[in-house]
Amino acid sequence: MTNQRRTLVAGGPEVSALGLGTWALGGPSAAGDQPLGWGSRFDRAEAAEVFRAAFDCGITLYDTADAYGTGTAERLIGETLAGKRDQITIVSKWGNTIDEEARRLTGQNATPGYVREALTASLRRLRTDYLDLYLLHLSGLPVADAEELLGTLEDLVTEGSIRAYGWSTDEPELAAAWVGQPGFGGLEFEINVVHDSPALVDICERNDIPGLARGPLGTGLLTGAHPEGSRITDEQDFRRRSPNWLNYFQDGYPVPELARALDSVRHILTSGGRTLAQGALAWLWARSPSLIPIPGARTVAQVRENAAATDRGPLTQDQMREIDALLTPG
């Protein structure tokens, strides 16, 4: 990985320009009858190797949540990266309540008291005494409810158990609610080449805050592994029955208009010897210097491929204009 670096939290260490998203590494879980894992097959040892490979590739930013495998992803970070805490940056999230043993999300809790309870549990699983960035994981929480959390979050910053806090949300009016608070550190939101988020990028750029780019590979669609007409058949893969907040697959099929949009810009994304996934990451680096992609990976080969994208850097502005022209209706 070339020496591309970003600052995640003011006053904190620099991080790699590419992070590792760990949702897929948490294994199966569910909320009600909605699967939230990436399939029925889960090999804990293989997942651990992915974490080790990511570190060896120079990835220092790890994005996780207590909901990912109901604690499993956090535990794997704590186990596999033990002894490397001073070399890595950890982002986690709270807001969902979990049953670790049953691997189920049981509800939501946005009360100030639950912030401390959830953080204590995450720190224990991660084997650390602080988080670099702690994100609210409830995208649509009303601003009035979010404001009630500020006192507790600022206290946690002062106490040193978190460096900063932020929000994982795709709603610009909510994302802006905490901007300017002393302990506010950044945002996380969905953005990729077929799903731009200009209002959220604008908030990051105007306020000089980082934006963790969630879904940079469109839950696998932008890797090219699932062409139009193909189908995911594993009933434990959330893409087989996509929740309403993720719309790259429907009934296991890639959404046709998104698959066609990807095909229309494939030749640009794969320029310069890039794979399709590497081109999708290069689009994000060109889209804004505020963005830090956090693609997931389920295998060592995938994490190495993603990490190698930094060697070729961002797309050119001419390429970005060409993509914009091809994807703009009319």
SS3 assignment, position 78: helix
* Residue 4 resides in a domain: no
Helices (H) and strands (E) in the chain, counts: 11, 16
Q: Give the bridge partners for 76, in sequence order.
A: none
DSSP 102: T
What are the DSSP E strand ranges found in 209-260? 211-214, 249-250, 253-254
What pLDDT band is residue 120 in, cutting at 50, 70 and 90? very high
Other CB atoms within 10 A of residue 79 CB: 14
Q: What is the mean pLDDT of residues 163-181?
A: 97
* Residue 6 resides in a domain: no
Determine the pLDDT at residue 242: 85
The least confident of 23-32, 243-252, 310-319 is: 243-252
What pLDDT band is residue 2 in, cutting at 50, 70 and 90? low
Mean pLDDT, rounded, of the chain: 96
SS3 assignment, position 275: coil
Residue length of the chain: 330
* Residue 259 resides in a domain: yes
| Residue from 100, 145, 303, 146 nearest 217 by CA | 303
Are 90 and 62 in contact by the 8 Å Cβ rule? The answer is yes
Cα separations in angstroms, 99 against 30, 69, 123, 135? 10, 10, 17, 20
- Rounded Cα distance between 135 and 145, Å, is 15
Tell me: the pLDDT tens digits for 231-266? 999 999 999 988 888 889 999 999 999 999 999 999
Structure tokens at 254: 């890639």
Task: Give CA 16 to chain center in angstroms.
Answer: 14
Q: Which CATH number goes with the domain that contains 85?
A: 3.20.20.100
Are 241 and 267 in contact by the 8 Å Cβ rule? The answer is no
- Rounded Cα distance between 311 and 38, Å, is 28
Q: What is the mean pLDDT of residues 106-124?
A: 98
Tell me: the pLDDT tens digits for 53-82? 999 999 999 999 999 999 999 999 999 999
Are 112 and 144 in contact by the 8 Å Cβ rule? The answer is no
Determine the pLDDT at residue 329: 84
241: region left, alpha or beta (phi > 0 left; psi from -120 to 50 alpha): beta
Determine the pLDDT at residue 244: 83
pLDDT at 10 exceeding the cut of 90: no
Are 277 and 217 in contact by the 8 Å Cβ rule? The answer is yes
* Residue 280 resides in a domain: yes
- Rounded Cα distance between 270 and 265, Å, is 9
The number of domains in the chain is 1
- Quote the domain boundaries for residue 160: 12-327
What pLDDT band is residue 5 in, cutting at 50, 70 and 90? confident
Determine the pLDDT at residue 11: 75
∠ Cα 194 200 201 (to 5°) = 75
- Rounded Cα distance between 83 and 68, Å, is 23
Other CB atoms within 10 A of residue 326 CB: 12
* Residue 108 resides in a domain: yes
- Rounded Cα distance between 164 and 226, Å, is 37
* Residue 2 resides in a domain: no
Are 200 and 170 in contact by the 8 Å Cβ rule? The answer is yes
Backbone angles phi, psi at 222, to 5 degrees: -80, 5
Are 123 and 162 in contact by the 8 Å Cβ rule? The answer is no
